[in-house]
Amino acid sequence: MPASQMISVYLNNALSATPEMVELDGEGSLPEEIRDMPEDVSGHFVSLEPEVAHDIEGAWKRVMMLNATQVLYTFSYDATTQRFTARKR
């Protein structure tokens, strides 16, 4: 079972992040080096508040940072399952 981790979500060019808990698909943890970060990542949000879910669903731009490498990922979101798929920018 994947471990939960805190990520940073930026919506519609926001300058400050919204921290959210997610579980990433796959085994193992993310790399510590920028060059080793995967191109694609998927997972689901854990205990997402309804108003935050609504904001994510309605956003025209969705970006997340998964760890201290600060690599940016653009993501799509499925409100029904609270799953996301992200691609490195």
Give yes or no for residue 17 having a pLDDT over 70. Answer: yes
Residue 82 CB partners (closer than 8 Å, separation 6+): 44, 45, 48, 53
Write down the pTM of the prediction.
0.91
Q: 64, 9 in Cβ contact below 8 A? A: yes
Distance CA(56)–CA(77), nearest Å, equals: 7
Q: Which residue intervals of 1-89 are DSSP H helices?
A: 50-58
List, for residues 28-86, the tens digit of each pLDDT value.
789 999 999 999 999 999 999 999 999 999 999 999 999 999 999 999 999 999 999 99
Distance CA(63)–CA(24), nearest Å, equals: 16
Can you name the residues that pair with 77 across neighbouring β-strands?
84
> What is the DSSP-derived secondary structure letter of residue 2?
P
Q: Where are the domains of the chain?
A: 4-88
Give yes or no for residue 1 having a pLDDT over 70. Answer: no
